[in-house]
Structure 1
Amino acid sequence: MTDMSSIPSPPSPWPTSPDAAAAAPTQPNALVDFQPVPRRGRHDGWTVARQRIFIAALADSGSVTHAAAQAGKSTVSAYQLRLARNAESFAAAWQAALDQGVRRLEDIAMERAIHGVEVPVYSYGKLVGTQRVYNDRLLMFLLRCRAPDRFTPLSPAHASHKALTPDPNSGPGSPAAIAAVERVRQEIRRRRALAGN
């Protein structure tokens, strides 16, 4: 199994501190245009800047734990904020950020499926090189997800192959096959009996 941390992530366009959030240029993005949850003015609470950092980090990583850490808050308090009164816009931005994070993970998975990953090769405890490893199961999974009409067994594209797929009720151990064998055996016995007379 390959370590996910070995894949370099592109630099994030999102700020990583409350001060950077205030200085960041406004982007015309649904993730940035959400209405922050109104909170009392605590310097260590869920300020507007921290909420924006959280949503930005969530969109970048797809991880609530990572996003909360980026905002300097706990995961539990992030979930509590999402359930707070007047948090509908924040909750919608949260979902949009998760969707964007999942798309990013899909892109990473596709990259790995196509180009493989470099894994270290050791001999007698010493690193002697690397080799590129491809994951065919990951490739098939992505093909089935991205083109289900062509790569899932129940798709119309596979209907033409259905005739080639044996019916489990007509296999060698099925009742119909056993009955057919018994009919042949009886016919052989009948012919032997006729030949013996």
Structure 2
Amino acid sequence: MTRRTDPRTVRTTLPAANPAGQLPDFTPVPRQGNRHDGWTEQRQRAFIEALADTGSVHAACKAVDMSQPGAYYLRRQPGAESFRAAWQAALDLGVQRIEDTAMDRALNGVEVPVYSYGKLVGTRRVVNDRLLMFMLRNRAPERFAEGSAKSLNAVGKMELKRLKKQWRQEYRKEWEAEQQAGQKADQEPASPQQKMETAQRARQIIDAKLDELRQSIEARHAAEWKTLSPETRDAYRRYEELRARDLKREVQMPAHLASEEDIATEHAEIERAVQLRKRGGRPEETPTLPPPGWGKRKPAERPAEENPRWRSIKDDGWQ
């Protein structure tokens, strides 16, 4: 892999190099040809140092003016075992630098631009409290964990999970041992008759549950059947007739489905109940025919006079 020839390539400005002794000494990957623009021994060492300083493969490749695929290709070559080990050590140092940067941001914050009406008017420093607590909980979990598993770091969570699994296994072994000891000491093996009675009771319970479930399903189907239109019910009956004809058997409608007469009677009763509720609970008065001769009026009979008296023409009914 050759170096890019673009003269406009800008090399990344690296921070201060790592102190001597932190990076392990490694044997560069042997190359077939020693090209001045290839992965020479000096460029490989510079790449490892840049990787330790930045923690980024892309930035390290840019620092030595080489391509990133070329670095991974070099890592896969035969005899690159020492180079891969140095690569991993450099990444570890880069992670330490990232931790230092995160700690610096947690303590000192970052500069955030301030805009007003679309124009930059200044900056302000913002401190991330969540980042600060994250760093504290991971650096000193025994002091800032607050006694909860959520506040532990990744290692603490894994350790707690392992201990819980171990405690659960130990408790289960003790419980099984106690159960076996209790069965041997207090209980005798059940006789065939007892086993049969237990099976019969279990079968009765299961049958009762199934009957209850069947009844609830039939009741729901019956209620849905009554809400269907007569046309839909006739179509279903026709379907059962055609099905029975194709299967060469008698038509068997489900017993829980009401007939049209029963549905009409139930609807009439519901209608009467509604009308009765509208009348305030009073039954409907059935009209009756008048008695015979109700249109002929009879003169009212006057009581007989006790003492006779003189009558005149003005007297009513005088003859």
TM-score bucket (shorter structure): 0.5 to 0.7
Secondary structure of the 1:121 match is strand
Confirm whether residue 36 of structure 1 aligns to residue 28 of structure 2: yes
Secondary structure of the 1:85 match is coil
One of 139, 147, 150 as aligned partner of 1:146: 139
Higher Cα radius of gyration: 2
One of 77, 96, 112 as aligned partner of 2:105: 112
Kindly tell me: are residues 135 and 123 of structure 1, through their superposed partners in 2, closer, same or farther at Cα, counting changes over 3 Å? same
Cα deviation per residue 1:3-49 (whole Å; 9 max; x = unaligned)? xxxxxx874337xxxxxxxxxxxx74252621111112122221101
Q: Distance in 1 between matches of 2:80 and 2:116?
A: 56
Q: Distance in 1 between matches of 2:76 and 2:98?
A: 26
Q: Which runs of 5+ in 2 are unaligned?
A: 1-12, 153-319
Checking the alignment, whether the CA contact within 8 Å between 1:120 and 1:129 is kept in structure 2 is: yes
Secondary structure of the 1:31 match is coil
Q: Distance in 2 between matches of 1:47 and 1:132?
A: 44
Q: How far apart are residue 55 of structure 1 and its match?
A: 0.4
Cα deviation per residue 1:150-181 (whole Å; 9 max; x = unaligned)? 3342279xxxxxxxxxxxxxxxxxxxxxxxxx
Letter of the 2:134 counterpart: F
Secondary structure of the 1:114 match is helix
Letter of the 2:111 counterpart: E
One of 72, 81, 95 as aligned partner of 1:88: 81
Checking the alignment, whether the CA contact within 8 Å between 1:36 and 1:89 is kept in structure 2 is: yes
Secondary structure of the 2:36 match is coil
The within-5 A match list for 1:22-171 is 28-31=20-23, 33-40=25-32, 41-152=34-145, 153-154=148-149
Secondary structure of the 2:121 match is strand
- Cα RMSD (Å) of the superposition? 2.3
Confirm whether residue 13 of structure 1 aligns to residue 17 of structure 2: yes
Q: Distance in 1 between matches of 2:48 and 2:76?
A: 15
Checking the alignment, whether the CA contact within 8 Å between 1:35 and 1:90 is kept in structure 2 is: yes
Secondary structure of the 1:77 match is helix
Kindly tell me: are residues 50 and 32 of structure 1, through their superposed partners in 2, closer, same or farther at Cα, counting changes over 3 Å? farther
Residue aligning to 2:290: none
Q: Distance in 1 between matches of 2:61 and 2:41?
A: 14
Q: Distance in 2 between matches of 1:105 and 1:28?
A: 20
Secondary structure of the 2:30 match is coil
Q: Which runs of 5+ in 1 are unaligned?
A: 1-8, 15-26, 157-197
Kindly tell me: are residues 30 and 39 of structure 1, through their superposed partners in 2, closer, same or farther at Cα, counting changes over 3 Å? farther
TM-score under structure 2 length normalisation = 0.39
Paired residues in the alignment total 136
Cα deviation per residue 1:35-91 (whole Å; 9 max; x = unaligned)? 111112122221101101110110110000111122222111111211211111111
Q: Distance in 2 between matches of 1:149 and 1:55?
A: 36
TM-score under structure 1 length normalisation = 0.62
Q: How far apart are residue 137 of structure 1 and its match?
A: 1.4
Letter of the 2:141 counterpart: P
Checking the alignment, whether the CA contact within 8 Å between 1:30 and 1:93 is kept in structure 2 is: no
Kindly tell me: are residues 10 and 142 of structure 1, through their superposed partners in 2, closer, same or farther at Cα, counting changes over 3 Å? farther
